[in-house]
Copies of this chain bind each other. A is one copy, B any other.
Amino acid sequence: MKLSAIKNIISDIVIVRDAEFYELGLTATQCSVSMLSFLENTKYIDELLSNATISCAIVNPETAEMIKDRTTIGIAVSESPKHSFFFLHNYLIENTDFYGQSDGSIIDPSADINSTAWISKTGVSIGAGTIIGPHVSIYPNVRIGNNVTIGANSIIGGEGFECFRFQDKAFMVKHAGNVLIGDNVDIQASCCIDKGLFKNSTIIGEYTKLDNLVHIAHNVILGRRVFIAACAMLAGRVTVGDDAWIGPSAALRNGITVGNNGYVSIGAVVTRDVLEGQMVSGNFAIGHDKFLQFIKSIR
C-alpha cells in the first residue's frame, strides 16, 4: 500500500514523502516486511530510526523536520500521529482486506466440542483430538493444534487491551492478529488469551500448560513446556522461554522476557527481564537470594 493512499482515509494528514508499506506496527515491533509506524513523542525518535523494518511513519511536524533527510522513510505529517495511525488501523480492519479475510472455521471431526461452547463460524481451526470445554468462547483468528484441551469458560482470541484517549473521548484499537496454540497444550478454566494487535500472533508453544484464571495479553509468546500457575498475568508482548515456571498470581510487565528455565515466584511483580535459569521474587521482583535476604531483615 502506498502511504499517499491513506490520505483518502485520514484527510487531515500531509504526505511529505511517499513510500510503500505492507504492514502496520509499533516502533518496538519487528516485522518481516516494510511497515508503517508512528511517533507521538519526538523524545523516542531513536526507536523509530533504529527499526530498519519501518518504511513509512506518521509523525508530528517537529519530528518530520528532524527525519526529512532519512530518505528510506516515507513521511506523513499529522498533529496527532497516534490517533491518525490507529484510526487508519481500525479503518483497514473494518473496511478493507488489508489484514486478510477469514475463511469458514474448520473443526477436526475427532475434536470433542462441548455443546455449550461458542465458536466463531469463521477464522477458527481446531485440530484432532482437541477437547473444548463448556462455556468456552473462541473468537475468529484462532488456530488450535492437536490434542489440546481448553477448560471451561476460557476465552481464546479476545480483543487485546490497546486504548488511547483523544480529546474528551477514548478508543479501543481493534485487533487484526491471531492466536496460535501448539499441539498438546493444556489450558484450564477461565483463562483469557488475546489475539495479536497487527499482522502478528499470540503464541502458546507445544506442551505448555496454563492453570485457571490466567491472562495472556496480545502478542505474548510462550515457549515449549512452560508452566503458568493460577491467576498469573502476562502483559502485552511478554516472551517466555522453554521450561519456565510462572508462579501463581505473578504479574509480568509488558515487553519483558523470561529466559529458558526462568522461575518467577508466587506473587512476583516482574518489571525486568528474567535471565535463563534465574529465580525472581517480590514486588517489584529481584533476584531470589537478595529478596530472601531482604525479607529476613524485616521479618
Q: Is A114 an interface residue (CB 8 A)?
A: yes
Number of this chain's copies in the assembly equals: 3
Contact residues of A between 112 and 164, Cβ < 8 Å to B: 114, 116, 118, 133-135, 137, 139, 149, 151-153, 155, 158-159, 161, 163
**Residues of A35-68 whose CB lies within 8 A of B:** none
Looking across the interface, which residue of chain B has its beta carbon closest to that of A229?
B161
1/0 contact string of A262-276 vs chain B (CB within 8 Å)? 000011010100000
Question: Cβ of B230 and Cβ of A161 under 8 Å apart?
Answer: yes
Query: Which chain B residues lie closer than 8 Å to A233 at the CB level?
Result: 213, 230-231, 248-249
Q: How far is the CA of A255 from the CA of B20 in the complex (A)?
A: 53
Chain B residues with CB below 8 A from A229, complex form: 161, 235
Instruction: Mark contacts of A282-299 with chain B using CB atoms, 8 A cut-off: 1 yes-contact digit, 0 otherwise.
Output: 111010001101110011
Chain A 82-126 interface 0/1 with B at a Cβ cutoff of 8 Å (1 = within) = 000000000000000000000000000000001010100000000
Complex-state Cα separation, A271 to B288, whole angstroms: 14
Q: How many residues of A contact B (CB 8 A)?
A: 66
Interface centre among A151, A211, A271, A291 (most CB of B within 10 A): A211
- A225 near B: Cβ within 8 Å? yes
Contact of A188 among B158, B207, B248, B271 (CB under 8 A): B158
Give the complex CA separation of A283 and B139 in angstroms.
Answer: 36
A199 contacts the other chain (CB 8 A): no
Residue of B153, B213, B215 near A135 (CB, 8 A) is B153
The answer to whether B269 touches A266, judged by C-beta atoms less than 8 angstroms apart, is yes
A154-190 residues with Cβ-Cβ distance < 8 A to B are 155, 158-159, 161, 163, 165, 168-170, 172, 184, 186, 188-190
Shortest Cβ gap from A235 to chain B (Å): 6
8 tightest A-B contacts by CB?
A: A267-B269, A249-B251, A137-B152, A118-B134, A161-B211, A192-B212, A170-B207, A170-B225
